[in-house]
Amino acid sequence: MSLTNFFVSGGIVAWPLLIFSLLGVALIIERAIFWYRIKSRQHKIVTTVLKLYRVDQRVAAIAKLKQNLDLPICRIFLEALALENATPTEFRLALETATQAELPLFKRFNTLFQTIIAVSPLLGLLGTILGLMQSFASLDIGNVAGTNAAGVTGGISEALTSTVMGLVVAIFTLLFANSFRSFYLRQLALIQEYGGQLELLYRLFYEKGGKTYATSR
């Protein structure tokens, strides 16, 4: 069976499932690019910033952050480092507040992913019911010769195809959605780790010099 015939045999529910599949692919591509950009650059940049800050190169560290504002963790660090005369407690609160502001970006499209995962099998089930209804409507129990064989087989084909399509869309989307969720949880742990290192350095400078070394933007 060709792909076109397979789609046609899915019946009316094949269209919303096609839309869901295309939407899912587009969202997966966007999220994959987003996480690839973070994973390929974040560690190197954060390591450089922490090294600069550790040797009292605060201006250079802030400049490095400003050069990479497309990365969420750079925006988080910059919000804290931009405070003037902040105590360690205020510095930590700034880090936490900036982190909370970035969370929606990490969880972007989660609702759409969950909708596709939940609704696709239901659409497949709806197609199954409609296909069976078509098959039963084509049956003539009292007159076997008058039974519409094409209608019966067409209904069964629609029932099976729609079920397969719904499950394929849901399973495919679920695999990527779970991967992105694991990236999100890992990213939260890394932000806490890197943020803790920056906060420790700030506290050491603050206690050593009796004042904060934060600079404005």
pTM: 0.83
C-beta of residue 34 within 8 angstroms of C-beta of residue 70: no
Tell me, rounded to whole angstroms, the distance of Cα 200 from its chain centroid.
Answer: 31
C-beta of residue 127 within 8 angstroms of C-beta of residue 158: yes
pLDDT at position 161 is 86
Nearest to 162 by CA among 29, 15, 1: 15
Low pLDDT (below 70) residues in the chain: 1-3, 6-7, 136-155, 210-217
Q: What is the dihedral of CA 23, 26, 27, 33, to 10 degrees?
A: 180
pLDDT at position 150 is 56
Structure tokens at 137: 């409507």
pLDDT, tens digit (0-9, with 9 covering 90-100), for 117-140: 999 999 999 988 888 877 766 665
